[in-house]
């Protein structure tokens, strides 16, 4: 009887490990690269990362001008790179992100560049190397603290 109990316990281990995983629900019938919902199992630590903004893209440009900071895609890649670094500094990865809030500003005289944002976003999420998708909200705001910033992103991650 003891060998049977031991074998049954060993067989159940993969199911137990799977039950502890973060569950990401895709939107049915959609290939849009965000999760419809994300479930975090008991016992996981939630990590809230402050809003990140872009780094200067062109050191030669006047930092008080849009040219120094780049377009929406450039700023998105910079912000996501900054988030990636912040997560790595605390032992996490972009794959641990479960929630994202995106604040986009329209460049003066133009509409907000959501397509440019998505070009940067899809280099970090929904890739073969990093397939995990966060639940996400994106909003257009009037402005950010620096009038040349077009992108600010804050994320929530879960420590595995």
37-93 pLDDT, tens per residue?
999 999 999 999 999 999 999 999 999 999 999 999 999 999 999 999 999 999 999
**Distance between CA atoms of 47 and 65, rounded to whole angstroms?**
34
Token pair of 101, please? 């809030």
Q: Mean pLDDT over residues 126-135, rounded?
A: 96
* pLDDT of 3 over the 60 cut: no
Local structure of residue 27 (DSSP, 8 states): P
The first and second tokens of residue 45, run together, are 């630590």
Fold classified for 2-159? 60s Ribosomal Protein L30; Chain: A; (3.30.1330)
CA angle 150, 85, 122 (to 5 degrees): 55
Tell me, what's the pLDDT at 1?
54
Q: Tell whether the model's pLDDT for residue 114 goes beyond 50.
A: yes
Global confidence as pTM:
0.84
Strands 23-26 and 35-39: antiparallel
Q: Pull the structure tokens for residue 76.
A: 């998105």
């Amino acid at each position: 009887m003891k060998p049977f109990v031991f074998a049954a316990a060993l067989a159940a281990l993969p199911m137990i490990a799977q039950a502890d995983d973060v569950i990401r629900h895709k939107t049915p019938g959609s290939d849009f690269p965000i999760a419809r919902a994300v479930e975090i199992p008991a016992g996981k630590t939630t990590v809230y990362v402050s809003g990140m903004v872009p780094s200067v893209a062109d050191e030669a440009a006047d930092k008080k001008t849009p040219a120094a900071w780049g377009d929406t895609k450039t700023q998105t890649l910079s912000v996501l790179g900054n988030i990636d670094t912040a997560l790595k500094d605390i032992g996490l990865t972009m794959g641990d992100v479960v929630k994202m809030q995106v604040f986009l500003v329209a460049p003066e005289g133009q509409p907000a560049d959501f397509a440019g944002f998505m070009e940067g976003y899809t280099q970090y999420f929904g890739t073969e190397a990093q397939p995990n998708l966060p639940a996400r909200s994106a909003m257009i705001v009037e402005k950010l603290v620096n009038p040349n910033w077009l992108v600010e992103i804050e994320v929530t991650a879960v420590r595995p």
